[in-house]
Amino acid sequence: MELRDLAVALAIGLGTIGPGVGVGLIGKGAMEAIGRNPEAGSQITTTLILGIAFAEAIAIYALVIALIIKFV
Amino acid sequence: MKSLHISVAAEKITSILGFPVTNSLLTSLIVMALLIVIAFKVNFQKTQKKKSKRSTLYLIFEMIIGGFYGFFKNIAGERTDQLFPLLMTLFLFIVFGNWIGLLPGVGSIGFYEHTVHGEVFVPLFRGPNADLNTTIALSLISVSVTQYLSIKAHGIKGYISRFINFTNPIKAFVGILELISEFAKILSFSFRLFGNIFAGEVLLMVMIFLIPVLVPIPFLALEIFVGFIQALVFTMLTTIFVVVATEKHE
């Protein structure tokens, strides 16, 4: 195995820790909000998806870096 | 064992007058042609006086566009009428582009090309948003529209004072941050879309490579969902940035 493969694995592996925690917290917040106020469910879902997209973007940056190391 | 072939850049298939034509450019032209044909068909139906003569296609598009109009009205308020044509075009282009990349044949129909590395498979089609050039173009459109509308709302002086402001040290520093964030927007828009769609294609390819039967189906469903969500996120963020940039202060 080349050192480059290890770099790819580390880049994406470490890069997904933060967004993973972030998405979890966003989901937790949304669940609590829906639990308290079920009528606002659809509105919360929109914001939830937007928030998750923001958190997920950071994992995507790590993925792009990993892909660049791997293929370029 | 045959190895997996993944290419980050779009492959060149031909060139017209010295301009390289890549497979993702070809696919995005197909998406555009499809959208233009649908637009003309739907618009033709609209002129029909009798409601019973309207086709299912017309009703579907009326439902989609009506639904999104209400959705964007919640975010953009009175700016909706001004922004809606751009937003809907962006949304439809991105969503069709993402979904066309999932069709069988895209990425598998192609030809072999002789290069210095031996024979290389070049697919004829590739999802438009699985190429960084397309997503950078889309994000440049989105960010330029934001800047243009911001200048229109505040005037040149007000627009520049958002970035360069020496009334007090905090405002000067915030101006620098604002300037950086405008450029970061281009990067984050383009990388978000490209990363999600390209990662989806790689995921599907790896899954098909490992277990070709039945296993990729749930991932395919996931990619349909992701393609829709990313198109929605792109347009929604454009709306929010425009609304923030055109807000009147003080």
pLDDT digits 0-9 by tens, B167-196: 888 888 888 888 888 888 888 888 888 888
When scoring B73, B229, B240 by the number of chain A Cβ atoms within 10 A, the one with the most, hence best to mutate, is B229
Q: Which residues of A touch B198 (CB under 8 A)?
A: 67
Query: Strand B12-16 relative to strand B19-22: parallel, antiparallel, unpaired?
Result: antiparallel
Closest in A49, A64, A72 to B195, CB measured? A64
Beta carbons of B98 and B227 less than 8 angstroms apart: yes
- What is the Cβ-side half-sphere exposure of residue B118, based on CA atoms within 13 angstroms? 0
Q: How far is A67 from chain B (nearest CA, A)?
A: 8
Closest chain A residue to the Cα of B225, Cα to Cα? A49
Q: Interface pTM (ipTM) of the complex?
A: 0.70
What is the tally of structural domains in chain A? 1
List chain B residues with CB under 8 Å of A57: 188, 191-192, 195
Segments forming the whole domain that contains residue A25 = 3-71
Tokens 């792009």 found at? A64
Which range among B20-29, B48-57, B195-204 shows the weakest confidence by mean pLDDT? B48-57
Q: Dihedral sign for Cα A67, A71, B3, B4, please.
A: positive
**CATH number of domain containing A34:** 1.20.20.10
Are residues B20 and B7 in contact, defined by beta-carbon separation less than 8 angstroms? no
Structure-token pair, residue A65: 């870096």
- What does DSSP assign to residue B72? H
Question: Between these two residues, A54 and B137, which has the higher pLDDT value?
Answer: B137
In the predicted model, is pLDDT for residue B1 greater than 50?
no
Given an 8 Å threshold on Cβ–Cβ distance, is A53 in contact with B199? no
Structure tokens at B228: 């829709």
Dihedral sign of CA atoms A9, A10, A12, A16 in order: positive
3-state secondary structure of B119: strand
pLDDT at B12 over 70: yes
- B101-153 pLDDT, tens digit per residue, is 888 888 778 788 777 777 777 888 888 888 888 999 999 999 999 999 999 88
